[in-house]
Amino acid sequence: MTATTIKFYQTGTHTVGNRLLDPEHRSVQADMRRTNSLNSGHRACQGCGEALGARYAIDAAMQATDNQLIAANATGCLEVFSTPYPETSWQIPWIHSLFGNTAAVATGIAAAMRVKGRSDVRVVAQGGDGGTTDIGFGCLSGMFERNDDVLYICYDNEAYMNTGVQRSSATPGAARTATTPAVGDAPGNVFGQGKNLPLIAMAHEIPYVATAIVSELRDLEAKVKRAMEIRGARYIHVFVPCPLGWGTNSWDTIHIARLAKETGVFPVFEAERDRIVSVSKIRKQLPVEAYLRPQRRFAHLFSPTPNTEAIAHIQALADRNIRRFGLVDPAAETAVAAPVATGNP
Amino acid sequence: MLKQCEGSHAVAATVALCRPEVICAYPISPQTHIVEGLSEMVRDGTLPGCEFINVESEFAALSVAIGSSAAGARSYTATASQGLLYMAEAVWNASGLGLPIVMTLANRAIGAPINIWNDHTDSMSMRDAGWIQLFAENNQEAADLHIQAFRLAEEVSLPIMVCMDGFILTHAYEGVDIPTQEQVDAYLPPYEPRQVLDPRDPVSIGAMVGPEAFTEVRYLAHAKQMQALELIPQLAAEFQQQFGRDSGGLIRQYRMEDADTVVIALGSVLGTIKDTIDDLRDEGNKIGVLGITSFRPFPLTEIRDAVSHVRRVVVVEKCFAVGIGGIVSRDVRSAMRNRPQPLYCVVAGLGGRAITKDSLHQLFMEAIEDKLEPLTFLDLDWNAVNRELERERLTRRSGPIAENLLRDLGVVAARVG
């Protein structure tokens, strides 16, 4: 992402009014000519982070490609809520094949475009975390390894929401899902080894990998735009809160996403090949409790008795993110309130 | 041009003449030589305008073909056996979406026990998946069927499996007439998709369909196969006119004119059966053969008419449905509905067991005398089977079945025959 020097005309907020920016710096979403690629009228839940993420990403990709875009979509919420035929929200050529083959379908589309002499037409593949980190992982890794000309976007809401909130390999430790209920000695999901797909993508040394959150619209759009300037396999992992699965208020989606970033739970960065080239710094570091408390999937960590051990574990993981990705400037770090707990889990 | 070559190379050369635009491949025996041949042709420029994609699984191979076909490119892949099972979900998806992908299936057994040799279990496992399934009798037909398959697939917008017996055909060297590019171009026009992903005219493909339309969508898939039933003979006739060769079609009849006994089979075993029948004819028996080229759609009427005058039907099939018996024979039985003639099902050649003329001769003589059981396993070693059943009766922990049998038989390496 190219750095832009901007002036803050507003105070008490982390956002910058679009109207105060130069037109070329304004968000795609603020542009009257935006394509509404994922049009209104779809059947996503109120406050759906994935619907926002997909709309932002695909509109940005459309602008970046002069509307020459084809999308392949994995089975999942995004597919189901967008195409209850005869209604479709997609204003772009769009195909849904299966749950686990989206990256391969996209490879096929890209190959067809190349062979037809229409390399100006670009291909996006998209899926949720289940379709990406679990069932679609083989096809995704194959697409990365071959460096096929596809941008794969994962909308990560940390569980299988479409089937009723079951655990995926992207579900965080301690989170309650339908298959990791908050009962027993270690309620919620186990703390496994994790499966950090952006880092796995980087291990393939593909040209471009980025993470983004729905609360940072312009950052997300800029990353999609940047991805579209590059040929080859690209991966963007977008953090999208799910009010239904997480037990959050539908009006809190943006707020929760921001808290994930500000606590270090979800690092926002950008990488080229295997090298991280930019990191979105935490503005005002918060303890993970601030992120966990508003979510009913973590309610058992606080009531009836606080599970300090599990909270400390999550804090330690966030701290590790902060150290590993340099999410806090060393100067600012000292000014931050001490985390709830430290130490490696 | 008549060329002495391996079956796989004949297919590769012919597929190349069909001007495929995207080929995806994952290695599995005995299909590998086909895609190896094609990859070389793409690489050295003899097959221009084609992308060859090496994928990480059969599931991905067919998925790439789904993407490329939906984006308007003529798409081809090949597989066998476990590979077909691994792509099963995509197999149904390709036909459900109505994408005219052509896939060679080098027929091979399915494990466990793992077995690389030929039978028809793989294609039969997908017989209801909505693909057209054409079976080649020899390498010339295997090559020719691909040309017809691309034309037919694109005409009805359905995927086609061209089934050829693994090793028996894929690895056999025979003289095959490889047509010229001009001949193939005259027969096979460029692909004009019915549906295509194109930013100039955006469509959504692959939407969810509920009870309100699902039956109709499925019926239309059936209706297309019924259209194919009409088209297959037409395309074969046109093929004969242009290439001067009789290839394809729905069924193929041999010495059927006054036959009392008719043997029905698919694929390369038809050759051995014909030789056996020549001998039986010489001995004064009225026996003929009916080869099924199009297994899906299944030519019910043609088979019904062809066997109307016969006294008995013997179906020799390289597959069976565990727990009930024959697969092909049940479809043939549907064709003979309300007919009194006996139908004998013979399961033969599983996992590459050779089907010999001697065994067939004896079998057909028993059929002629109506001494066959309704279900027969050709050349089954009853002693070995009974010894294993006895072991299981005597010992609770009797051990793995396949390994017991091999130890019992004293086989130290896979042996055909």
Assess whether B153 and B56 both reside in one domain: yes
Query: Within an 8 Å CB–CB cutoff, is residue B21 touching chain A?
Result: yes
Assess whether B84 and B222 both reside in one domain: yes
Q: For residue A100, is pLDDT > 60?
A: yes
Beta-bridge partners for B75: B22
Let me know if residue B119 belongs to a domain.
yes
Cis peptide before B199 (omega within 30 of 0): no
In this complex, the residue of A97, A115, A145 whose CB is nearest that of residue B66 is: A97
Alpha carbons B27 and B38: distance in angstroms, whole number: 13
Cross-chain residue pair A108–B204, CB shorter than 8 Å? no
Tokens, residue B414: 């896979």
Q: For residue A337, is pLDDT > 50?
A: no
- pLDDT the model gives residue B415: 54
Domain count, chain B: 2
Cross-chain residue pair B199–A113, CB shorter than 8 Å? no
Let me know if residue B348 belongs to a domain.
yes
Q: How far is CA A259 from the centre of its chain?
A: 14
Cross-chain residue pair B66–A108, CB shorter than 8 Å? yes
Alpha carbons B312 and B65: distance in angstroms, whole number: 44
Domain with B334 in it: what CATH number?
3.40.50.920
The 3-state DSSP composition of chain A as helix, strand, coil percent (nearest 5) reads: 40, 15, 50
Chain A CB contacts of B89 below 8 Å: 98, 100-101
Cross-chain residue pair A94–B70, CB shorter than 8 Å? no
Chain B's closest residue to A81, CA to CA, is B208
Kindly report the nearest CA distance between residue B169 and chain A, in angstroms. 30
Q: Supply the range of the domain harboring residue B27.
A: 2-243
Cross-chain residue pair A112–B21, CB shorter than 8 Å? yes
Q: What integer is the mean pLDDT of A320-335?
A: 82
Chain A CB contacts of B93 below 8 Å: 97-98
Q: For residue A342, is pLDDT > 90?
A: no
Let me know if residue B24 belongs to a domain.
yes
Predicted confidence (pLDDT) per residue in A192-250, tens digit: 999 999 999 999 999 999 999 999 999 999 999 999 999 999 999 999 999 999 999 99
Kindly report the nearest CA distance between residue A269 and chain B, in angstroms. 29
Query: Within an 8 Å CB–CB cutoff, is residue A107 touching chain B?
Result: yes
Per-residue b or e along A312-345, where b marks 16 or more CB atoms closer than 10 Å to that residue's CB:
bbbbbbbbebbeebebbeeeeeeeeeebbbeeee
Let me know if residue B383 belongs to a domain.
no
Amino acid identity at B270: L
Q: Which strands sit side by side in the sheet containing B312-317, from one edge to the other?
A: B251-254, B287-292, B261-265, B312-317, B343-347, B375-377
Kindly report the nearest CA distance between residue A96 and chain B, in angstroms. 5
- pLDDT the model gives residue A85: 81
Instruction: Identify the residue whose tokens are 């013997």.
Output: B314
Tokens, residue B135: 């079976």
Q: What are the backbone dihedrals phi and psi of residue A292, each rounded to the nearest 5 degrees, phi first?
A: -75, -40
Query: Within an 8 Å CB–CB cutoff, is residue A66 touching chain B?
Result: no
Residue of B405, B395, B355 whose CA lies nearest to B376 = B355
Question: Are residues B154 and B192 in contact, defined by beta-carbon separation less than 8 angstroms?
Answer: yes
Res. A22 pLDDT band, cuts 50 70 90: confident
Q: Which of B189, B212, B243 is the last residue of a domain?
A: B243
- pLDDT the model gives residue A338: 40
Chain A CB contacts of B204 below 8 Å: 83, 85, 88, 90, 93-96
Burial class of residue A173 (count of CB atoms within 10 Å of its CB; 0-12, 13-18, 19+): middle
Chain B's closest residue to A73, CA to CA, is B206
Res. A32 pLDDT band, cuts 50 70 90: confident
Cross-chain residue pair A91–B63, CB shorter than 8 Å? no
Query: Within an 8 Å CB–CB cutoff, is residue A31 touching chain B?
Result: no
Assess whether B227 and B354 both reside in one domain: no
Q: Which of B222, B243, B264 is the last residue of a domain?
A: B243
Predicted confidence (pLDDT) per residue in B358-391, tens digit: 999 999 999 999 999 999 999 999 999 999 999 9
Assess whether B32 and B151 both reside in one domain: yes
- pLDDT the model gives residue B24: 96
Q: For residue B278, is pLDDT > 60?
A: yes
Distances (CA, A) of B264 to A338, B101, B350, B410: 82, 28, 17, 35
Distances (CA, A) of B375 to A80, B300, B342: 47, 21, 12
Residue ranges of domains in chain A, CATH in brackets:
20-333 (3.40.50.970)
Cross-chain residue pair B22–A69, CB shorter than 8 Å? no
* Bigger pLDDT: A11 vs B122: B122
Amino acid identity at A197: L
Chain B CB contacts of A147 below 8 Å: none
* Residues 283-312 (A) with a CB less than 8 A from some CB of B: none
Amino acid identity at B34: I
Assess whether B144 and B261 both reside in one domain: no
CB atoms within 10 A of CB B182: 9
Alpha carbons B224 and B206: distance in angstroms, whole number: 18
Alpha carbons A282 and A292: distance in angstroms, whole number: 17
Q: What integer is the mean pLDDT of B252-256?
A: 97
Tokens, residue B65: 């073909």
Instruction: Identify the residue whose tokens are 């039907």.
Output: B313
Q: Return the H-helix or E-strand segment holding B33.
A: helix B32-43
Distances (CA, A) of B5 to B25, B41, B139, B149, B247: 22, 16, 9, 21, 18
Assess whether B199 and B340 both reside in one domain: no
Let me know if residue B398 belongs to a domain.
no
- Outline where chain A has alpha helix (H): 49-64, 77-82, 102-115, 129, 137-146, 197-203, 217-228, 243-246, 253-262, 288-292, 308-325, 330-333
Assess whether B19 and B95 both reside in one domain: yes
- pLDDT the model gives residue A332: 57
Query: Within an 8 Å CB–CB cutoff, is residue B59 touching chain A?
Result: yes
Residue of A240, A252, A281, A207 whose CA lies nearest to A57 = A240
Mutation target vs A (from B23, B42, B56, B87; most A CBs, 10 A cutoff): B56
Assess whether B14 and B75 both reside in one domain: yes
Predicted confidence (pLDDT) per residue in A229-244, tens digit: 999 999 999 999 999 9
**Strands B2-6 and B173-177: what pairing?**
antiparallel
Assess whether B196 and B272 both reside in one domain: no
Assess whether B223 and B335 both reside in one domain: no
Chain A CB contacts of B199 below 8 Å: 67-70, 92-93, 121
Chain B CB contacts of A204 below 8 Å: none
Predicted confidence (pLDDT) per residue in B150-200, tens digit: 999 999 999 999 999 999 999 999 999 999 999 999 999 999 999 999 999
Cross-chain residue pair B21–A85, CB shorter than 8 Å? no
Q: Which of B194, B218, B243 is the last residue of a domain?
A: B243
Assess whether B110 and B180 both reside in one domain: yes
Cross-chain residue pair B71–A109, CB shorter than 8 Å? yes
CB pairs under 8 A between A and B: 158
CA torsion through residues A268, A271, A274, A277, sign: negative
Q: What integer is the mean pLDDT of B3-12?
A: 97
Let me know if residue B220 belongs to a domain.
yes
- pLDDT the model gives residue B113: 96
* Residues 250-279 (A) with a CB less than 8 A from some CB of B: none
Let me know if residue B391 belongs to a domain.
no
Tokens, residue B177: 């007439």
Chain B's closest residue to A84, CA to CA, is B208
Alpha carbons A209 and A223: distance in angstroms, whole number: 9
Chain A's closest residue to B191, CA to CA, is A116
Q: How many H helices and E strands in chain A?
A: 12, 8
Kindly report the nearest CA distance between residue A169 and chain B, in angstroms. 21
Cross-chain residue pair B93–A116, CB shorter than 8 Å? no
CA torsion through residues B327, B330, B335, B336, sign: positive
Three-state SS sequence of B41-84: HHHCCCCCCCEEEECCCHHHHHHHHHHHHHCCCCEEEEECHHHH
Residue of B100, B36, B47 whose CA lies nearest to B74 = B100
Q: What is the dihedral of CA B40, B46, B52, B54, to 10 degrees?
A: 0
User: Model's pTM, two decimal places?
Assistant: 0.95
Assess whether B236 and B298 both reside in one domain: no
Query: Within an 8 Å CB–CB cutoff, is residue A101 touching chain B?
Result: yes
Amino acid identity at A10: Q
Alpha carbons A88 and A200: distance in angstroms, whole number: 33
Per-residue b or e along B30-64, where b marks 16 or more CB atoms closer than 10 Å to that residue's CB:
bbbbbbebbbebbeeeebeebbbbbbbbbbbbbbb
Chain B's closest residue to A85, CA to CA, is B207
Query: Within an 8 Å CB–CB cutoff, is residue A64 touching chain B?
Result: no
DSSP, collapsed to helix, strand or coil, labels residue A270 as strand
Kindly report the nearest CA distance between residue A213 and chain B, in angstroms. 27
Alpha carbons B43 and B35: distance in angstroms, whole number: 12
Kindly report the nearest CA distance between residue B95 and chain A, in angstroms. 11
- pLDDT the model gives residue B10: 98
Res. A312 pLDDT band, cuts 50 70 90: very high
Let me know if residue B158 belongs to a domain.
yes
Alpha carbons A286 and A333: distance in angstroms, whole number: 11
Domain with B197 in it: what CATH number?
3.40.50.970
